[in-house]
Amino acid sequence: MMGLGNAQITITQTSMPAANDTIRYSTVPPAGLSLNIQQKGPSQSWDYSKLVANRQDIYRYASANSTPYLLYFFNQIGLKTADSLGAGPVMLKNIYSFYTKNSTVFKQEGIGYSFQGIPLAAQNKDDDEIYQFPLKYGDSDVSTYNFRFVIPGNILTFVQSGVRTNVVDGWGSIVTPYKTYPNTLRVKTFVNGTDSLITQFAKIPIPRRQVIYKWLSADEKIPVLEITGTETNGTFTANQIRYRDKYLGLVSPLRPRAGFTISKTSGFVTVDTFNFTDRSQPFATSFNWQITPTAGVSFVGGTSAGSRNPRVVFRQAGLYNVTLIATNNFGSDDTTAPNAISVQYGLSTRNITPENMFFYPNPSCGYITFKQAGNLELFDASGRCVLKRLVFTNERVSVAWLPKGFYTLKLNGSKPASLLFY
């Protein structure tokens, strides 16, 4: 179908993303769609108005100077692609892709990521030239790319290399559910490459063959429509469709539904450890645990508020609310359990037996009296000895100078006894 009133345009660097651009797009499931992808040539009218989105997301572009990766990508354009990747000891966070644009090219130059809180980067050995300018109908270009990423600890090396070919095979108008664009260029991109996983034992090559159709407008910073797939014997199969869009209020079915369990709902100050277990579905990749009130909350066992399954000890009595914010690449969700945990001052009966009660009172509000003489050792909840001295029978010893909490006492190396000071 020929378009009326449209004209051939030229795409330059001014139509590419810039720092601080925020651009929403919608995603369409490709199954069962008739895409008429073979329609090409001059003065076309493409109609994709019947696409139905099932989720949305946003591209947020930032200056590299405002990211943690300033020293690696000065003045370049950063796009956050993931909050986290990996798991366990190989957890990468805050992942950005970085781009450069000028009068001749728009290209991807590498990624920035944080490992154990340290900002790092993996830069392309051969930059990926996504577009070469000026771009107009009938143009074509061929470029190579090579990206090498060594996972911290030299556990694994990931290499992407190949050839990118762009062909501008059509121009005209296009209608999407968002709007009608009277003047666009269609770029057909062939990516012929290999993704390789390299360990100390083997190199595993994975062929990467993609065909991408993109409709570009001079007035938008991302393709107004982008269809990605594979092509076999001239037959194209789509596996991803995205188009520029407005806010629709869609929630991705792949966004996590936050959920968690706690090993117990009540316990004693300092003594009991509460184990939190993430139950979010589908799986989340980053976590933010919020426990209120915050005073007296201690994450233990090498865990933190960002751990998937943290462990917590409370150092003040009270009722605590627990909130989990679970996130993956498709969105976030949160859930709150009010008054989920009750913590009180008191002694666990497993630590109080007649044979180890060589002092009184227990709990104590400031003083303890010893029933017998001996060499006293007093330890705090972390196991640090905070008092070591000789005490006498019926001596009254002040503990008012200690922070409130649980302590362990030994007299003459006896079986440990627990003391609560409140």
Residue by residue, what is the 3-state secondary structure of 88-124? CCEEEEEEEEEEEECCCEEEEEEEEEEECCEEEEEEE
First to last CA, the chain: 83
Token representation of residue 180: 């009608």
pLDDT category, 32, cuts 50, 70, 90? confident
Strand-by-strand arrangement of the 396-398 sheet: 359-360, 367-370, 396-398
> Are the beta carbons of 67 and 43 closer than 8 angstroms?
no
- 91 and 200 together in one domain: yes
- Lowest mean pLDDT, pick from 77-91, 143-157, 245-259: 77-91
| 33-48 average pLDDT score | 94
Does the pLDDT value for residue 246 go beyond 50? yes
Does the pLDDT value for residue 5 go beyond 90? no
Q: Whole-angstrom Cα distance, residue 271 to residue 257?
A: 32
pLDDT of residue 352: 41
Task: Give strand pairing partners of 187.
Answer: 168, 214
pLDDT of residue 112: 94
pLDDT of residue 3: 44
At residue 15, what are phi and psi to the nearest 5 degrees? -95, 5
Residue 7 in any domain: the answer is no
Does the pLDDT value for residue 276 go beyond 90? yes
Residue 378 in any domain: the answer is yes
More confident residue, 287 or 366: 287
- 284 and 180 together in one domain: no
Q: Whole-angstrom Cα distance, residue 106 to residue 97?
A: 13
Q: Which of 244, 269, 302 is the last residue of a domain?
A: 244
Q: Is 411 exposed, middle or buried (0-12, 13-18, 19+ CB in 10 A)?
A: buried
More confident residue, 59 or 199: 59
- Lowest mean pLDDT, pick from 35-39, 213-217, 281-285, 381-385: 381-385
Distances (CA, A) of 387 to 382, 383, 406: 14, 12, 14
Does the pLDDT value for residue 69 go beyond 90? yes
pLDDT of residue 87: 60
- 50 and 178 together in one domain: yes
- 180 and 121 together in one domain: yes
Q: Other C-beta atoms within 10 Å of 309: how many?
A: 14
| 388-392 average pLDDT score | 90
Token representation of residue 265: 């709902």
pLDDT category, 365, cuts 50, 70, 90? confident
pLDDT of residue 422: 66
Token representation of residue 19: 């720092």
Residue 86 in any domain: the answer is yes
Domain that holds residue 302: 260-344
pLDDT of residue 290: 94
pLDDT of residue 89: 64
DSSP line for 247-301: ------TTS-B--EEES-SEEETTT-EEEEEE--BS--SEEEEEEES-TTEEEET
pLDDT category, 262, cuts 50, 70, 90? very high
At residue 359, what are phi and psi to the nearest 5 degrees? -150, 170
**SS3 at position 1:** coil
Q: Other C-beta atoms within 10 Å of 389: how many?
A: 9
* Residue whose token pair is 């995603």: 27
- 390 and 358 together in one domain: yes
Residue 5 in any domain: the answer is no
Q: Identify the CATH number of the domain in which residue 377 sits.
A: 2.60.40.3080
**Preceding omega of 42 cis (within 30 degrees of 0):** no
Does the pLDDT value for residue 319 go beyond 70? yes
Does the pLDDT value for residue 86 go beyond 70? no
Looking at every residue in the chain, the average pLDDT score rounds to 88
pLDDT category, 419, cuts 50, 70, 90? confident
pLDDT of residue 304: 92
Distances (CA, A) of 93 to 120, 215, 326: 10, 32, 15
At residue 410, what are phi and psi to the nearest 5 degrees? -130, 140
Q: Identify the CATH number of the domain in which residue 300 sits.
A: 2.60.40.10
- 227 and 269 together in one domain: no
Residue 110 in any domain: the answer is yes
| 199-209 average pLDDT score | 88
**Preceding omega of 30 cis (within 30 degrees of 0):** no
355: left (phi over 0), alpha (psi -120 to 50) or beta: alpha
Q: What's the domain count of the chain?
A: 3
Helix (H) or strand (E) segment spanning residue 182: strand 180-198
- 325 and 358 together in one domain: no
pLDDT digits 0-9 by tens, 125-182:
999 999 999 999 999 999 999 999 987 767 788 999 999 999 999 999 999 999 999 9
- 97 and 141 together in one domain: yes
Does the pLDDT value for residue 354 go beyond 60? no
The amino acid occupying position 136 is K
Q: Whole-angstrom Cα distance, residue 203 to residue 304?
A: 36
Token representation of residue 81: 């692609």
pTM confidence score: 0.66
Q: Which of 185, 214, 244 is the last residue of a domain?
A: 244
More confident residue, 140 or 402: 140
- Lowest mean pLDDT, pick from 58-72, 340-354, 376-390: 340-354
Q: Which of 244, 279, 304 is the last residue of a domain?
A: 244
Residue 150 in any domain: the answer is yes
pLDDT of residue 144: 97
Distances (CA, A) of 132 to 100, 135, 169, 281: 12, 7, 15, 42
Does the pLDDT value for residue 81 go beyond 50? yes
Distances (CA, A) of 382 to 213, 313, 401: 61, 11, 17
- 160 and 302 together in one domain: no
Q: Whole-angstrom Cα distance, residue 288 to residue 308?
A: 8
Does the pLDDT value for residue 331 go beyond 90? no
pLDDT category, 370, cuts 50, 70, 90? confident
Strand-by-strand arrangement of the 266-268 sheet: 266-268, 331-344, 318-328, 286-292
Residue 36 in any domain: the answer is yes
- 330 and 379 together in one domain: no
CA-nearest of 118, 76, 115 to 97 is: 76
What is the dihedral angle through the alpha carbons of 26, 27, 31, 34, rounded to the nearest 10 degrees? 40
- 74 and 25 together in one domain: yes
The DSSP 8-state label assigned to residue 363 in this structure reads S
Residue 391 in any domain: the answer is yes
- 124 and 167 together in one domain: yes
